[in-house]
Amino acid sequence: MLLIKNADIYAPAPVGRGDILVAGGRIVRIEPGIRIPESYCESFDAARLIAVPGFIDGHVHMTGGGGEGGYATRTPELVLSDAIRGGVTTIVGCLGTDGVTRSLRALLAKARGLDEEGISTFIYTGYYAVPVRTLTGSIEQDLLLIDKVIGVGEIALSDHRSTQPTFDEFARIAAEARRGGILSGKAGVVNVHMGDGRRGLSLLRRILDETEIPATQFLPTHINRNPTLFQEGISYAKAGGLVDLTTSTVSAFLDKGEVQCSQGLRAMLEAGVDAAHITFTSDGQGSLPDFDEQGRLRRLGVGRVTSLFAGVRDAVLEKHVALATALQVITANPARILKLRGKGHLAAGADADIVLLEPETLEIQGVIAKGRWLMKDREVLVKGTFE
């Protein structure tokens, strides 16, 4: 058992100062003045700290990504300590451009490995390409038969690396994902990679106009990729759609017009977008390729899961977004959208995934996942098997 005393609790809404009692990997009670004999329980005084839910990163290339510049540009796998340093206690893994040398079997194995090492993991089936390659032969079967599969993606649209799916092909993917999600009790979300192409969200909007599939079935990511797509994303979100902003970036992207995620959050809120429709993801371990106008690779960066909370922190400290609102985009919102039960909130019965923050700087001081200390007093206590 673990008793966190006197924390300023954001669940993610502020609930005041109190104690959090953890047992068996779950939160048992949250209230002021909990008393447990010391012989039964470890006690930690968090009087100078803020306690928030563990962060959810819904788009991470766990097994690495990239390869757009040849074999030497394949990015490395995620290591556990990177997630811990970023306060990330739940990860959804995906493949990207390469679904040949990066396989779904390897992604599933990596997810199970990270789970054994100490954090919670899920995956998407498929990758950029259509027809969708799956583990069992269909999206529906993957959702129904494989516990960690919660959706499909990232399916690439409006991108020169996409397989240019037709309306009918994309509609069938969404329909199968929805049916599999309904039958399995999972989200069945279609994670959509948005590129720089001039068609933008047009295929998504057409699906919503011409079929019965609801907007909540789709989570288009990289919506802050350029100003035009970003403005289209605002209209899409105000009409009921969900949008995801990518926190990993490089200076070349920002120089070319990419909207910084913290500024994007503020702009969307000011434009009247419901905060519940916005998420942040890191694109961790994914490649950040800079292509010229002819589609030739000029340079390549690597996404980092540590950028996830850095984006939220910047939104609060520099863009003056309320902490509770900014926290939603990496806690309660992805938990609801992806149907991750027990995640995204601090409440009795929820999973004991907790991040402790310094109140002035919002620096991460402690990380607890599944009721276990992974970082304490800014020191990473648990590392991956081969770190």
- Chain Cα centroid distance, residue 169: 26
Q: Is residue 385 part of a domain?
A: no
Residue whose pair of structure tokens reads 């993801």 in the numeric block: 281
8 with 86, same domain: the answer is no
Do 311 and 365 reside in the same domain of the chain?
Answer: no
Looking at the fold, whether 23 and 76 belong to one and the same domain comes out as no
What Rg, from alpha-carbon coordinates, does the chain have? 20
**Shared domain check, 11 and 132:** no
Task: Quote the CA–CA distance of 129 and 26 in Å, as a whole number.
Answer: 39
- Alpha helices by DSSP H, listed for 185-260, are 202-210, 227-238, 251-255
Is the same domain home to 6 and 115?
no
Residue 195 within a domain:
yes
Total count of domains within the chain? 2
Here the CATH number for the domain that contains residue 355 is 2.30.40.10
Per-residue pLDDT of the chain (387 residues; tens, 9 = 90+): 999 999 999 999 999 999 999 999 999 999 999 998 888 899 999 999 999 999 999 999 999 998 888 898 899 999 999 999 999 999 999 999 999 999 999 999 999 999 999 999 999 999 999 999 999 999 999 999 999 999 999 999 999 999 999 999 999 999 999 999 999 999 999 999 999 999 999 999 999 999 999 999 999 999 999 999 999 999 999 999 999 999 998 777 788 889 999 999 999 999 999 999 999 999 999 988 776 677 677 777 889 999 999 999 999 999 999 999 999 999 999 999 999 999 999 999 999 999 999 999 999 999 999 999 999 999 999 999 999
What pLDDT does 290 receive? Answer: 72
Sorted by sequence, the CB contacts under 8 Å of residue 6 that are 6+ apart come out as: 17, 18, 19, 45, 46, 47
Q: Are residues 329 and 282 part of one domain? A: yes
Residue 246 lies inside a defined structural domain of this protein: yes
Give the chain's end-to-end CA distance (angstroms, integer): 28
**10 plus 76 within the same structural domain:** no
Decide if 283 is catalytic: yes
Query: Is the residue at 362 inside a domain?
Result: yes
**What residues make up the domain containing 300?**
54-337
Asked whether residue 58 is domain-assigned, the answer is yes
Q: Is residue 132 part of a domain?
A: yes
Full-model pTM: 0.95
CATH value at residue 214: 3.20.20.140
Do 29 and 86 have their domain in common?
no
- Domain shared by 133 and 225, yes or no: yes
Q: Is 10 helix (H, G, I), strand (E, B) or coil?
A: strand
pLDDT of residue 386: 93
- Does the residue 387 lie in any domain? no
How crowded is residue 13: how many other Cβ atoms within 10 Å of its Cβ?
14
345, two tokens: 């909130």
* Environment class of 125 (CB within 10 Å of its CB; exposed 0-12, middle 13-18, buried 19+): buried
Same domain as 349, residue 318: no
Q: Do 283 and 163 belong to one domain? A: yes
Tell me which of 19, 82, 142, 283 is the catalytic residue.
Answer: 283
Taken as a whole, the chain contains a residue count of 387
How many angstroms separate the CA atoms of 16 and 30, rounded? Answer: 11
The DSSP H or E segment spanning 52 is: strand 50-53
| 386 in any annotated domain | no
Domain shared by 284 and 364, yes or no: no
